[in-house]
Structure 1
Amino acid sequence: MKPWIFQAAKMVIGALLAILIADLLNLTYSVTSGIIVILSIQPTKQQSIRIGVKRIIASTLGLAITIGLMLLLGYTLPVFILSLLIFIPLAFIFKIEDGIVVSSVLMSHILAQSDWMLGINALYILWIGVVIAILLNLFMPNKSAAIEAEIHAIDEALRDLIVEIGSRGSVNFGPILKLIDEATHTIRNESMNKLLPKRNLNISYVTMRKEQVSYLQMIETDLKRVSVTEYKQDILNFIQTFAPRIGKANMASLLMIQLNQLRDTFKEKPLPLNRQEFEERAILFHILFDLEAFLLAKVRFHEVELIQ
């Protein structure tokens, strides 16, 4: 089921429940409780709770201001506008601006009925709507399988990139960066659906892959600046050995050993004979450092993984 269908269903069911409960309690403006449910159901559990709490605080403040002013100055439109002029800036100051719209609607009930007791009625309506929204948002689809699929797609795309770079083919980094952004969004939403979130290794993994892609971009750019020589070919051959070793297993440590061996081999080669050879050799050594950084990113991830 698509996320928006699940969320829409919760909105409809929640609104119906809230209205029925409000009607059973003989509350005025019972439909408002259903609207509050619709506004309070968010894509994640944490968002729903945070916005619900802010709306309760904001509405309590707004209703208190409105009741106080109308008892003193009367149930008139200018007094209602005055209460908004006081309440809205305070909502921004106290960072509860998410509750401004709902609070304003509830405050208007007092004006419409010219009765401060509608403030108590409004609080009942608010609590019914917010509590039902939070309870329904405790039920969220598990995205673990989707996250695993997205991570697998990133690893596959990374393998393809490495093959393309190693074979001196045309390289397009756009698709893998899009996959990484989509996976990051999914993982963060899933994390926000946990009431007691802990460090998420999936986000660390995807962040590591994004870091590796940035190194590959620099490596690919530098390789284009160097003419084809045995040194460049040695690096290209080494890069191609990465492809079958891309995955969750820790293969980076072994590749680090091979990289150091390749670096030692370069050091034993004859010195450059002219300026062009010197400049190209310098670029190639810089590529080796970027390859080291590429591998170290994976090594560091596994160190974090062991701590968890």
Structure 2
Amino acid sequence: MKIGLRTIKTVVACFFALIIAQQLELLYYTAAGIIAILSVGNTKKSSLNTGISRFVSLAIATALAAVIFNLVGYTPLGFTLYLVVFIPLTVRFSLTDSIVVTSVLVTHYLLEQNFGWELILNEILLMAIGVGVALLSNLYMPNLEKKIKQEQETIEVHVRQLLLDMADDLTRTDKEDLVDSCDILLESIDYGQRQARMHQENQWFEENWYYEKYFIMRRAQVRSLREMILILKQIQIEEAWVADLRILLTTAGETLSEGNDGVQMLRNIDLVMESYRLKPLPKNREEFENRARLFQCLQIFKNFIELKAEFTMQQ
């Protein structure tokens, strides 16, 4: 059984929250440990946002419960009415993650049957200790940048191979099913983007969304290639007609990289498109449809390269 870093931090946060709350002789001190467990997030920013929402939620819940309990009484009915009003409010203000934690603290008012300042301070301290210890435990986060770069390299290797496979497939009658390769690539890109987002959310002050934008760009590119593959399956045309596209795909497969801006490739695509326009008109319907599909593929491939060129210009 493998114990992850988050599990260790959660256990440590709970332990220290319990010790601190107990030493301060707070009522229901175990609640501090529960709050700590529920407040350890995946990233630094998510933990901070969770902590803030917990305090806002506690303020709303305390005011609401004070009104309802004083009107209806410290009874199960009073607590039920509190939930009827409180839950929609948390949904309205996007505080739903705090419903359970805050409501547990509200039960302390119910059990003690008062809203004295000492009890209110007790609940605030329980929340502060639980949230504060959770935030401290999340100050250390592993640096995901190396892992993200490795994921980038892996994805680029697979995209290059996909382009080369598409080039080889152009002249084959028994075309390979490369759609599955695209779907696997899209899963890898989604994973890389999640890692990139976590990396950014672990930076307190640096706003650099380069990695996430990179994976968004690659996803759009792979979707373009997937669209090309589906069209190429329908093309049955002489090799001379697909020779230029094959060269373009092969060149892209050999030169694709994070640093390649694609400008030269766009020039090459424009030259090929111009050469297609100068060729003799199709002789029959079948030839017309095949050439139309071929031209459509070339347009999609141009969009594939433009995505990278635009991404490079924006950095």
DSSP-derived class of the 1:242 partner: helix
1:45 corresponds to: 44
What displacement does 1:205 show? 1.4
Matching of residues 267-282 of structure 1 within 5 Å: 267-282=277-292
Paired AA for residue 209 in structure 2: N
| CA offset digits 1:222-246 (Å, max 9, x no partner) | 2222223111233123211211111
Higher mean C-alpha displacement, 226-235 vs 141-150: 226-235
Residues 14, 238 of structure 1: CA spacing in aligned structure 2 closer, same or farther, 3 A cutoff? same
Match 1:202 to one of 211, 216, 230 = 211
User: What does residue 90 of structure 2 align with?
Assistant: 91
Work out whether 1:295 is the aligned partner of 2:311: no
Q: Cα gap change, 1:279/1:67 in structure 2, threshold over 3 Å: closer, same or farther?
A: closer
Mapped to 1, the partners of 2:314 and 2:70 lie a distance apart of 61
- Tell me the residue number matched to 1:123: 124
Q: CA RMSD in A?
A: 2.0
Decide whether the 8 Å contact of 2:237 with 2:290 is kept in 1: no
1:285 partnered with 2:289: no
Q: Does residue 150 of the first structure (1) align with residue 159 of the second (2)?
A: no
What is aligned with 1:20? 19
Cα deviations across residues 75-109 of structure 1 (Å, max 9, x unaligned)? 43333333333333333333322221111111111
4+ runs of 1 displaced by more than 6 Å? none
Report if the CA contact (8 A) 1:14-1:34 is conserved. Answer: yes
Q: Give yes or no for the alignment of 1:175 onto 2:175.
A: no
Q: Distance in 2 between matches of 1:121 and 1:35?
A: 15
- Contact 2:261-2:312 at 8 Å conserved across structures: no
Judge which range, 258-267 or 8-17, deviates more. Answer: 258-267
Moved more, 84-93 or 18-27: 84-93
Could you tell me how far 1:292 is from its partner in structure 2?
1.1
Aligned-partner residue type, residue 150 of structure 2 = A
Cα shift readout 1:47-86 (whole Å, capped 9, x = no counterpart): 2111211111111222233344445654433333333333
Question: How many angstroms apart in 2 are the aligned matches of 1:205 and 1:72?
Answer: 57
Match 2:314 to one of 279, 304, 307: 304
Distance in 1 (CA, whole Å) between partners of 2:90 and 2:312 is 45
Q: Is 2:63 the partner of 1:64?
A: yes
Q: Which residue of 1 aligns with 2:229?
A: 220
Q: TM-score, normalised by structure 1?
A: 0.91
Q: Is the 8 A contact 1:226 1:232 kept in 2?
A: no
Q: Is the 8 A contact 1:67 1:119 kept in 2?
A: no
> Which position in structure 2 is the counterpart of 1:241?
251
DSSP 3-state at the match of 2:4: helix
The 2-side partners of 1:275 and 1:88 are apart by 64
Q: More displaced, 114-123 or 182-191?
A: 114-123
State the distance in 2 between where 1:256 and 1:74 align. Answer: 74
Unpaired stretches in structure 2, ≥5 consecutive residues: 170-174
CA-to-aligned-CA distance 1:108-152 (integer Å, 9 cap, x gap) = 112223343433211111111111112222221110011111111
Contact persistence 2:237–2:287 (CA under 8 A): no
In structure 2, give the amino acid aligned to 1:134: L
Separation in structure 2 between the aligned mates of residue 288 and residue 90 of structure 1, nearest angstrom: 53
* Alignment pair present for 1:254 and 2:253: no
User: Using the alignment, how far apart are the partners of 1:263 and 1:149 within structure 2?
Assistant: 36
With over 3 angstroms needed to count, the CA separation of the structure-2 counterparts of 1:239 and 1:6, relative to structure 1, is: same
In the superposition, relative to structure 1, how do residues 19 and 257 fare at CA in structure 2: closer, same or farther (>3 Å)? same
Given that residues 66 and 83 in structure 1 are in contact (C-alpha distance below 8 angstroms), is that contact kept between their aligned partners in structure 2? Answer: yes
Does 2:200 correspond to 1:191?
Answer: yes
Contact kept in structure 2, 1:58 and 1:96, CA below 8 Å: yes
Structure 1 unaligned blocks of 5 or more: none
| Larger mean Cα displacement after TM superposition, 87-96 or 198-207 | 87-96
Q: Hey, what's the Cα distance between the residues in 1 that align with 2:77 and 2:306?
A: 66
What's the CA shift string for 1:168-202, capped at 9, x where partnerless? 15213221111111111111122222233524111
Q: Is the 8 A contact 2:57 2:90 kept in 1?
A: yes
Summarize the Cα distance change of 1:130–1:271 in structure 2 as closer, same or farther, 3 Å threshold.
same
What residue in structure 2 maps to residue 165 of structure 1?
A: 166
8 A Cα contact 1:15 1:33, kept in partner: yes
Alpha-carbon distance in structure 2 between the residues aligned to 1:80 and 1:263: 72
Aligned length: 303
Tell me the residue number matched to 2:172.
none
What is residue 34 of structure 1 aligned with on the other side?
33
CA gap of 1:178–1:92, structure 2 versus 1, over 3 A, is closer
Greater alpha carbon shift after TM alignment, 66-75 vs 224-233: 66-75
